[in-house]
Amino acid sequence: MNNAGIVGLGMVVPDKVLTNHDLEKMVETSDEWIKTRTGIEQRRIANDDVFTSDLAAAAAEKALQDAGLKGDEVELIIVATCTPDMYSPSTACIVQHKLGAVNAAAFDVNAACSGFIYCLSIANQFISSGQYKNALVIGAETLSKVIDWKDKNTCVLFGDGAGAVVLKPVEENKGILATHLGADGSIGKHLTILGLALEPQEVEKRSSDNPRTLWMNGSEVFKFAVKIMAEASLTVLEKANKTLEDVSLIVPHQANIRIVDGAAKRLKVKNDKIYINLYKYGNTSAASIPIALCEAVEEERIKKDDLLVLVGFGGGLTWGSAVIRWAK
């Protein structure tokens, strides 16, 4: 059977913009520090009554329209998120209902910022095996709801948003040519968002009254990220029997410009081969790669038959990469 390819895309970000200057009034930070240490200039924040499923469904509607697919024609919905509306039902089930996708199976995947690539890989297995004729893969987050807004180490980094893609079987040697996924739970403690198990040593790390906030050991995640982004890019290219010279554009997880620059240096790739929009949105976790893909297509940085590498890392700790021959 043929591989899955992306045949429709959509994205949304909340209207509310939070700039570095706004953050200067909230914590002891500066626009200069945030820009030079992360590359981020602003991020989008969802209103109190807007949740991950709202952003996910809005992005999905755009992707379905782009693909010319109706809600009830969708066969599979997978949502990548680490900020679900509820533990149950899954965000994917809430989205399924919002879209009227009555014929779709639906489930969530939590691989934090690597989640979108995990979901692409899963959907590709379902499509290339012939089980489903199409799939809707969504990366969506409202990280602003789990941020400790008094913690300058983390509150400057993240933002909200959603990106969605529709996958269908495409011509031979096109679409998703290879994926590579990995995880190392032994270092998961470097990036946590607490749920039911409020372990005292985890609660202690948080200064907030709300223990269910994000905590991160930024420098450990940073070192891991630079190394794994380079390694995961090379591993997936090898799987696809391609080299970096064949690649038109790398679309990395948009976490920190210094992480991307560090990985690019290791790969000896010039910056113009790497798509960056993190200055506008910050780190939107599972949403960052599909949002970047959408904007890269809009800006005509991606054209039919281009070879792309998508690569991400995140909580878990996890990582994932994909090689795609663009078929749209």
Catalytic residue among 113, 119, 155, 294: 113
Site residues for ligand ACO, 69-88, by CB under 6 A, read 82
Alpha-carbon torsion (198, 202, 204, 206), positive or negative:
negative
Residue whose pair of structure tokens reads 């945030």 in the numeric block: 34
Catalytic, 180? Answer: no
- Residue 133 has what DSSP assignment? S
Backbone angles phi, psi at 325, to 5 degrees: -90, 110
Stretch that binds ligand ACO, among 87-95, 124-132, 148-156, 170-178 (CB under 6 A): 148-156
Catalytic, 113? Answer: yes
Instruction: Please say which residue, 5 or 314, places its beta carbon nearer to ligand ACO.
Output: 314
Instruction: Please say which residue, 5 or 315, places its beta carbon nearer to ligand ACO.
Output: 315
Does the footprint of ligand ACO cover residue 256 (CB under 6 A)?
A: yes
Contacts of 180 (CB under 8 A, 6+ apart): 232, 235, 236, 239, 320, 321, 322
Coil/strand/helix, residue 327 = coil
Q: Alpha-carbon distance 40 to 57, whole Å?
A: 26
Residue 157-196 contact track with ligand ACO, rule CB under 6 A, x = bound: ----------------------------------x-----
And the tokens for 6? 């992306």
Q: Alpha-carbon distance 116 to 133, whole Å?
A: 19
Does the footprint of ligand ACO cover residue 37 (CB under 6 A)?
A: yes
Residue 27 Cβ, how far from ligand ACO at the closest point, in Å? 7
Catalytic, 93? Answer: no
Residue 193 Cβ, how far from ligand ACO at the closest point, in Å? 8
Q: Which of 156, 164, 229, 327 binds ligand ACO (CB under 6 A)?
A: 156
Instruction: Please say which residue, 81 or 134, places its beta carbon nearer to ligand ACO.
Output: 81
User: How would you label 126-164 residue by residue, b for 16+ Cβ within 10 Å and e otherwise?
Assistant: bbbeeebebbbbbbbbbbbbbbbeebbebbbbbbbbbbb
Q: Alpha-carbon distance 253 to 320, whole Å?
A: 10
Catalytic residue among 119, 253, 256, 294: 253
Q: Alpha-carbon distance 180 to 238, whole Å?
A: 10
Site residues for ligand ACO, 5-34, by CB under 6 A, read 29, 33-34
Site residues for ligand ACO, 263-292, by CB under 6 A, read 283, 285
Q: Which of 3, 20, 38, 121 binds ligand ACO (CB under 6 A)?
A: 38
The contact set with ligand ACO (CB under 6 A) reads 29, 33-34, 37-38, 82, 112-113, 152-153, 156, 191, 218-219, 221-222, 225, 255-256, 259, 283, 285, 314-315
Kindly list the catalytic residues: 113, 253, 283
